[in-house]
């Protein structure tokens, strides 16, 4: 775990972030599974971006609520990849995963744009489970899709567009600029 990752998490917390949301395909992974991965899940492990994994652990240790929001319906595959990629000291059960599955319901009064419904479902569960109040500006999304990032920002979330050239330094520079 890098010192830069720890610094990023501290900066996010100082900006009031409570929820750190990650997309899966082309964000946690450097490839896109298409949501229909049929091969051995372990073949995805070399495609996990170490820079993303190194943010998850300090995020969880600092008290941020970490989640994965994805259009993939392969939640068990995602959980497997996280379990194999994160240190054993990370309690993976605390990472909420919202995929395109029928085990959660849309949240009323939330637009059906980008990942807003996924994030709203996570926030609703955190509110019920932990009694926390989370405002839109207290959510930070990392996603490779500009539409998802734009929708999140328009709703009031903080969001960063993940590109192939993602680095902690670029993320750190962006976080310095946000309110």
Q: Which CATH superfamily is domain 3-177 in?
A: HAD superfamily/HAD-like (3.40.50.1000)
Tens of pLDDT, residue by residue over 137-174, are 999 999 999 999 999 999 999 999 999 999 999 999 99
Domain boundaries, the chain: 3-177
63 versus 108: the higher-pLDDT residue is 63
Average pLDDT value for residue range 130-134: 93
3-state SS track over the chain: CCHHHHHHHHHHHHCCCCEEEECHHHHHECCCCCCCCCCCHHHHHHHECHHHHHHHHHHHHCCCEEEEECCCCCHHHHHHHHHHHCCCCCCHHHCEEECCCCCCCCCCCCCCCCCHHHHHHHHHHHHHHHCCCCCHHHEEEEECCHHHHHHHHHHCCEEEECCCCCCHHHHHHHHHHCC
Report the chain's mean pLDDT, rounded to a whole number. Answer: 94
pTM: 0.95
Tens of pLDDT, residue by residue over 16-51, are 999 999 999 999 999 999 999 999 999 999 999 999
Average pLDDT value for residue range 112-137: 94
């Amino acid at each position: 775990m890098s010192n830069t990752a720890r610094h990023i998490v501290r900066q996010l917390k100082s900006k009031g972030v409570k929820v750190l949301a990650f997309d899966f395909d082309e964000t946690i992974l450097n490839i896109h599974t298409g949501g229909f991965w049929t091969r051995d899940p372990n073949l995805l492990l070399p495609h996990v971006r170490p820079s993303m994994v190194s943010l998850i652990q300090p995020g969880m240790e600092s008290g941020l609520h970490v989640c994965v929001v994805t259009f993939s319906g392969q939640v068990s595959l995602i959980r497997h990849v996280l379990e194999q990629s994160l240190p054993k000291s990370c309690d993976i059960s605390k990472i909420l995963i919202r995929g395109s599955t029928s085990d959660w319901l849309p949240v009323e009064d939330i637009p059906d744009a980008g990942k807003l419904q996924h994030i709203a479902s996570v926030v609703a569960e955190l509110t019920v489970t932990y009694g926390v109040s989370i405002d839109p500006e207290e959510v930070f999304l990392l996603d490779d899709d500009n539409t998802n990032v734009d929708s999140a920002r328009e709703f009031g979330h903080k969001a960063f567009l993940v590109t192939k050239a993602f680095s902690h330094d670029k993320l750190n520079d962006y976080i310095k600029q946000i309110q």
